[in-house]
C-alpha cells in the first residue's frame, strides 16, 4: 500500500503521519487548528520542503473552516493572520511561503463572502497537493535516465513519500526504477542528528521492498573511494537563482566528496523549491535548532550536561558542485529565472 503522509480528515482537519514516531510506530494525528499545524511543522511531525508547503495550505483551510459565515473582510483578515503564523514555523524551506502566498492570492482574487472564499481555498489546497504528486512523478521520470540497471545510489536525509505529496523527489527515480524491474541498491546516510535517513528513508525503502543499506554519515567517503557509489541523489529546501541550494546538514560535505571522487551529484526538487528572488546561497536563512537534538538521542544524554552544541538544520551547497538539477521540468542547469 502506497505511503500517504497527509490527507484531509472527515472533520476537515489535516491528517498526518507523525514522523517522530517512525519507525517504531505508524501513528496518524489530526491537526484541527493553525497552532497545531504550525507546531507539527516546528516539531518535525510533518517535514520535507514540499510536504510542509502542502500542510500549510491545508492548515490554512482547516483553521478557517469555522469562519465560513464571516464577511469577506473578516475572512480575509483571519486567513492573513493564519498565514503569518504558519509562515513563521520554519525559515529555510521556500515551499512553505510559496504555498501560503498562493493561497492568499487566491483568497484576494475570489469574489464573494467567507463561504465562497473557503470553498475556493479548499480546492486550491487540494490542487497544490495533487500538483505535487504529479511533479514527483515527473521528477522520477526525468531522474530515471540517471539510473542504469545495477546502479548504486547514495542518498541523504529523507526525500520520499514522507517528504512530499507523492513518491518523493530524490527517491522518485529510485521508486520508478524499482517499479520497472531495474536492480538498484540505495546506500542511506543515517543523517545525524535526527536520523531521518535511518528512521524514515530506510522505513520507506524497506516498506517498498527496495534493496538498501544503512550507513553512518562518515562512511560515505569510504564507499566513494572504493568506487561503490555510482550517483548521489539529494533533495533541496531552497534553490537560489545561481544554483546554490540549501538541504539537510551534511549535504555540502557529500557534494565535495562526490566532486573529489568523480561521482555525479544531482539535486532533485520541484520547481516550487527554486527561489529566483535569492541571488545566491549566502542569502538563505539557515534554521538553528535546539542543541538538545545533538546532545541527546531518544531522550537519553550522549554528552555531558555542560556540553554546548551547534545544530544548524541545513547547509548550503555551491552550484559548482552540482552535476544537474532534476526537476519536474527536466534536468536543468542554473542560472534560474522566473521564465526558466
Residues of the chain falling short of pLDDT 70: 1, 339-340
Q: Annotated active-site positions, please?
A: 237
Q: Do β-strands 6-8 and 212-215 pair in parallel, antiparallel, or remain unpaired?
A: unpaired
Kindly tell me the number of DSSP H helices and DSSP E strands found in the chain. 11, 16
Angstrom CA distances, 252 to 94, 245, 326, stand at: 19, 9, 17
Measured between alpha carbons, how far is 206 from 165 in angstroms, rounded to an integer? 19
The model carries a pTM of: 0.95
Q: In the CATH hierarchy, which fold is given to the domain comprising 141-332? A: Rossmann fold (3.40.50)
For Cα atoms 256, 268, 340, give the angle at the middle one, nearest 5 degrees.
Answer: 105
Bridge partner list, 240: 275
Number of Cβ atoms within 10 Å of the Cβ of 98: 23
What are the helix (H) ranges across 43-195?
Answer: 49-64, 72-87, 94-109, 114-143, 172-179
Measured between alpha carbons, how far is 103 from 58 in angstroms, rounded to an integer? 10
- H-run or E-run covering 41: helix 34-42
The predicted structure's pLDDT at residue 93:
86
Q: Where are the domains of the chain?
A: 6-137, 141-332
Query: Which of 289, 291, 243, 295 lies closest to 269, judged by CA?
Result: 243
Which string of DSSP letters, residue by residue, matches 50-88?
HHHHHHHHHHHHHHHGGGTTS-HHHHHHHHHHHHHHHHT
Query: Which of 129, 139, 133 lies closest to 176, judged by CA?
Result: 139
Q: Cβ distance 159 to 186 under 8 Å?
A: no
* Domain 6-137, second-level architecture: Up-down Bundle (1.20)
Task: Calculate Rg over the CA atoms of the chain.
Answer: 20
Query: Which of 136, 171, 307, 331 lies closest to 243, judged by CA?
Result: 331
What is the maximum alpha-carbon separation in the chain? 66
| Residue where the block lists cell 551529484 | 265
Measured between alpha carbons, how far is 238 from 302 in angstroms, rounded to an integer? 32
Cell digits of residue 185: 541498491
The predicted structure's pLDDT at residue 1:
55
The predicted structure's pLDDT at residue 22:
97
Query: Which of 103, 166, 163 lies closest to 130, judged by CA?
Result: 166
Amino acid at each position: 500500500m502506497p505511503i500517504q503522509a497527509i490527507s484531509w480528515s472527515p472533520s476537515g482537519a489535516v491528517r498526518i503521519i507523525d514522523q517522530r514516531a517512525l519507525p517504531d510506530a505508524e501513528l496518524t494525528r489530526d491537526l484541527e487548528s493553525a497552532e497545531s499545524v504550525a507546531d507539527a511543522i516546528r516539531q518535525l511531525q510533518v517535514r520535507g520542503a514540499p510536504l510542509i508547503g502542502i500542510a500549510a495550505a491545508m492548515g490554512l483551510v482547516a483553521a478557517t473552516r469555522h469562519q465560513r459565515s464571516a464577511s469577506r473582510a473578516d475572512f480575509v483578515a483571519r486567513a492573513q493572520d493564519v498565514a503569518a503564523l504558519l509562515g513563521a514555523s520554519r525559515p529555510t524551506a521556500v515551499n512553505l511561503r510559496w504555498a501560503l502566498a498562493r493561497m492568499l492570492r487566491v483568497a484576494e482574487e475570489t469574489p464573494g463572502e467567507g463561504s465562497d472564499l473557503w470553498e475556493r481555498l479548499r480546492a486550491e489546497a487540494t490542487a497544490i497537493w495533487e500538483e505535487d504528486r504529479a511533479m514527483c512523478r515527473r521528477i522520477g521520470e526525468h531522474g530515471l535516465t540517471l539510473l542504469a540497471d545495477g546502479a548504486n545510489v547514495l542518498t541523504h536525509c529523507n526525500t520520499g513519500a514522507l517528504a512530499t505529496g507523492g513518491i518523493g523527489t530524490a527517491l522518485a527515480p529510485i521508486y520508478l526504477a524499482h517499479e520497472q524491474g531495474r536492480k538498484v541498491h540505495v546506500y542511506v546516510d543515517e543523517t545525524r542528528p535526527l536520523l531521518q535517513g535511518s528512521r524514515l528513508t530506510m522505513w520507506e525503502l524497506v516498506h517498498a521492498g527496495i534493496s538498501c543499506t544503512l550507513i553512518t554519515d562518515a562512511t560515505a567517503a569510504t564507499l566513494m573511494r572504493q568506487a561503490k557509489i555510482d550517483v548521489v541523489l539529494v533533495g533541496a529546501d531552497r534553490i537560489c537563482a545561481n544554483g546554490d541550494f540549501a538541504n539537510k546538514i551534511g549535504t555540502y560535505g557529500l557534494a565535495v566528496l562526490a566532486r573529489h571522487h568523480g561521482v555525479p551529484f544531482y539535486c532533485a526538487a520541484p520547481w516550487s523549491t527554486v527561489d529566483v528572488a535569492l541571488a545566491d546561497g549566502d542569502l538563505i536563512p539557515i534554521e538553528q535548532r535546539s542543541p538538545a537534538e545533538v546532545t541527546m538521542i531518544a531522550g537519553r544524554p550522549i554528552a555531558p550536561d555542560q556540553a554546548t552544541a551547534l545544530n544548524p538544520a541545513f547547509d548550503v551547497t555551491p552550484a559548482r558542485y552540482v552535476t544537474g538539477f532534476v526537476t519536474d521540468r527536466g534536468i536543468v542547469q542554473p542560472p534560474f529565472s522566473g521564465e526558466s
